[in-house]
A and B are shown apart, each in its own frame.
Chain A
Amino acid sequence: MELYLAALGICAAAAVLAAVVTRRVRVVVSSILGALGCLLAGGVALRILITGSTSTFHTSQLLPMSGLSLTLDPLAALFILASAFVGVAACVYCVGYAHGAMASRTAMTLLFVFILTLLAVPAASSVVSFMFCWELMALSSMLLILTNQAHSSDARAAALWYGVMTQFGAASILLGLLLASLGTDQTFSAIGAHSSQLSPTLRSFAFVLVLLGFASKAGAVPLHVWLPKAHPEAPSPVSALMSSSMVAIGVYGMIRVGEDLLHGGTVWWWVSVAALGVVSAFYGALHATTSTDLKRLLAYSTIDIQGLILIGVGAAGVLNDSGQPVVAHLAMMAVLLLMVAHAGFKGALFLGAGAIEHATGTRNLDRLGGLIHTMPVTAFVVGVSACSIMAVPTLSGFSSEWLLLQGLLHGFADSSTPALIVMLLGVIALALTGGLTAVAFVKVFGIGFLGQPRSSGAADAREVSTSMKVAMGWLVVPSVVIGVVPGAFVALLNRASSSALATPVVSPIDKGTGLVLSQLSGAIEPAALFVGLVVVLIVVWAANQRLAQRRSRRVDAWACGRELQTPRMQYTATSFAEPLQRVFADVLRPQNDVEVTHVAESRYYEQSLLYENRVVDVIEMRGYRPLITAALRVGRFSRRLQNGSIHRYLAFGFVALLVILVVLA
């Protein structure tokens, strides 16, 4: 515990240092300090996962009245480990990336505060400590979104959306936790011990409130609207942290409160969690396919993966409640593995997107292309991470999604109706998103890195600095390691999952390098598959060199005999996804405008033609805009009360005084 506190202290020191020293020192020294703090926190979390111990800390010095309580148990440790891992990369990345507004005193200080809170929230173990860390996390990330507000009005709008959503969420969580702690102390252990005495209605009410708050943080549709706005506008290390760690903490909250504090509750809680997951997975994947802004695409893909995670959490909850603890543990372990894997590859993808933006000045895929020639390291990082998210075998996305599918498949053995519905919908959602994710990330790599550059920025791109390359490379490691030897993490996952789900069981996955489910039947050995793939690749390469001539000659592209091949004739990200956009037009509601200008002499000849295609978030337009206009109308109406006349205000005061006197009398 002391070491964990020391790690938090180092992050705090980095924040303080960033606030006082000069720009160059700030960018280098405090970033390194922050990375060290994250490394230490990750080490402590790893030790707790290995030993399975739990340690607590309480001080009444830091927060008034209740004090600050921290508890490190395996479940919290796993989330801290994931945040710390991405945190190291974000800090190192900053050394090369921070320039302009991001290198400012405010932004750097806030970055380390944000990292500090990401490491602290999972450990907070009383209502006040939790809400304190949670709000600090929300505020620091909201201000970080504003970093580039001088250049982007979208950043201001994004921060406003995020601020409103996160504050509603926080209020809802606070209310839920207070309800859950009725009649007892506000520490989590007291709530956990007392919650079985609460009436079922009250418990369900508390869970729904908490679920609303955590679902909005986790980016679950329809509470996701802030996410595709905020993640693109934040500086890349911040979006990497938000997308891989902060949204995961939303899921952590659901597991902690639903399973640990309220002991699983009733089946419909988890059916609703899974339903949120199904909708999010499909909606996120569909929008990721049609987005052309690289970071917006990644944000929607985060919604997709979070949806899959919620499906797993829901399935685990349902199975745990209906007496299938072994499969429930399997699903929970799958979810936790997917969370860790997602932290790795999504962090790498966001850092890669930042590198592209840094090098080309744009993140619009329609203006990129050919970057594999100028930015080979970034291309490698994005390529491997994209393969991982597409669930290419022997990478982390595959191992975790396979495990999740096994959880759902064996969940079919439970014959209760809610369980069957959750499993069926879960399988359908996984199936639907698999193909769509592949389209989205073939688009990212194929349009962004292959072909010819579509703008001068892309043509003049240079590879980014060493520290950024190191940071991106660091985040590729989990994709490969979890992918090839997922069995090495089984013991850690089992500890975390056992501290989440109360019923103790023998781990459903055997010890070993691969994932072998001997209790349930089913196994994969990714290490063997990996060796097989490498061997075949070498054999094919050698045979190709022996049987055919070795030297290759560069020629103009054939393209069915076309002589002229300009970059503008290539497919773009928009045209690549156009067929699917048309297929799913009923869900996406794309807006197309064609504007034709004719020459003055004749209407048969056209002077110019403007074609516009936009895909907006339907839920935002149909669900939120009416609410916003209604709120504005109420605001405008209430402004009539406040017209600036001092006489009127005095009259209000007088009337209020009279009313109070009458009521009191």
Chain B
Amino acid sequence: MSATITTSLYGVAATLIQIVAVGLGGPLLVGLMAKVKARAEGRVGAPIVQPLRDLRKLLSKERLHARHSSVVLPLAPMIILAATAVAVAISPLVSTHPFLGSSADILVVVYLLLTGTVAAALAGLDAGTAFGGMGSSRVMTIGALAEPALLVAVIALSIQSGTSNLPSMMSSTIAHPDWVFGPSRLLALGALLIVVIAETGRIPVDNPATHLELTMVHEAMILEYAGPELALFSLGEAMRLGLLFSLVANLFFPWGIATSDSVLALAVGVILLMAKAALVALGVALIEVRSAKLRLFRLPELLAGGFVLSVLAVVTGLVTK
């Protein structure tokens, strides 16, 4: 009995650590990527903690709501945050058995992320402005094209493990190190990288630094946000980024994650998670530096490429099974 209590206590601890780690780490990853980009472009750049400072500044500002907006405007960032936080809570990021880990299905995570996208798109339409609608329409278009690649890539990984339960997927990867460089995994990794870039709105899909009206995607959608609501929105988006980076890192390289109940294992898990996510962020930032933003109507080719990769991942997985 006491063993189960200890296990669930460690589970609760792991869940809380994950939420805090992603909540703080997400904005830091955004800052890190900005820094890496600045350095690569020969600038000094803002400090890595700048996104956190921005959040604090925004929280102290006045709460402004656009004239024709409804309850969706304040509700949407909260829903994004809630959906992302629950996804973070159940995913095995620091430990393979967080609280609720038994229902930590990768499909739940996929659909919680979709929920966030939907909430954001509705927020863009709420104020009834041209730019908001443009942003929402584009975000949903990209989302609709990225979703198939994401889902099929995830299924490819699940077929290999025989389950879509995330902790079991990671444990089985740890038990079979040879899977990591198998063709199916590498194809799925390629597909997931494209999806992650699309879902987090990075170059070449979207430029997070742009404020040029006609090229905006995500920025156009959140034009009507200010003050505390913008802070929540940005935090939610940063946590999404943190979750996606750490999940991709852990799915393909789970070593370091805590598999046993001890404080040391959890500590190692947190530190290695940070390191892995930072590596992914570094990679994505370097891709951003090296490439130009694609035209909106060239994006389907990229995302269809991701979809084809993921279907190939399923097929090769079945052939080599």
Chain A interface residues toward B at CB < 8 A: 289, 369-370, 372-373, 387, 390-393, 398, 402, 405-406, 408-409, 412-413, 415, 420, 424, 427-428, 430-432, 434-436, 438-439, 442-443, 445-447, 449-452, 514, 516, 520-526, 528-529, 532-533, 536-537, 540-541, 544, 547-560, 562, 565, 567, 569-571, 575-580, 582-583
Contacts and interface: CB of A to CB of B under 8 A. Distances in A.
Contacts of A452: 68, 128
B278 interface: no
B133 A524 contact: no
Interface stretch (B6-14, B34-42, B220-228): B220-228
A565 B105 contact: no
Nearest to B314: A424
Given A434-B148, A521-B168, 5 more contacts: A420-B318, A431-B152, A438-B117, A524-B105, A558-B66
Contacts of B231: 548
A527 B199 CA distance: 27
Given A412-B159, A536-B86, A439 B144 contact: yes
B300 interface: yes
B113 to A, nearest CB: 10
Given A369-B128, A552-B65, A579-B141, A438 B148 contact: no
B130 A548 contact: no
A439 B63 contact: no
A431 B148 contact: yes
A431 B151 CA distance: 6
Interface stretch (B118-126, B200-208, B242-250, B256-264): B118-126
A428 B311 contact: yes
Interface string B155-174: 10011001111001000000
A442 B122 contact: yes
Main secondary structure of the interface of A (DSSP, over half): helix
A577 B136 CA distance: 10
A398 B107 CA distance: 10
A523 B165 contact: yes
Contacts of A524: 103, 105, 108
Nearest to A576: B137
B140 A523 contact: no
15 contacts: A372-B71, A387-B118, A409-B159, A412-B318, A445-B122, A450-B128, A516-B102, A524-B103, A524-B105, A558-B223, A559-B132, A575-B137, A579-B137, A579-B296, A583-B300
Nearest to B160: A412
A514 B104 CA distance: 12
Given A392-B118, A431-B151, A554 B102 contact: no
Contact of A533 (B86, B124, B224, B296): B86
A83 to B, nearest CB: 29
A520 B163 CA distance: 8
A281 to B, nearest CB: 12
B125 A525 contact: no
B280 interface: no
B83 A533 contact: yes
Interface stretch (B74-82, B177-185, B269-277): B74-82
A572 to B, nearest CB: 8
Nearest to B303: A583
Residue with the greatest number of chain B CB neighbours at <10 A, chosen from A413, A438, A521: A438
Nearest to B155: A427
- 7 A-B pairs with the lowest CB-CB distances in the bound complex, closest first: A571-B133, A451-B128, A435-B147, A435-B144, A548-B228, A446-B125, A431-B151
B54 interface: no
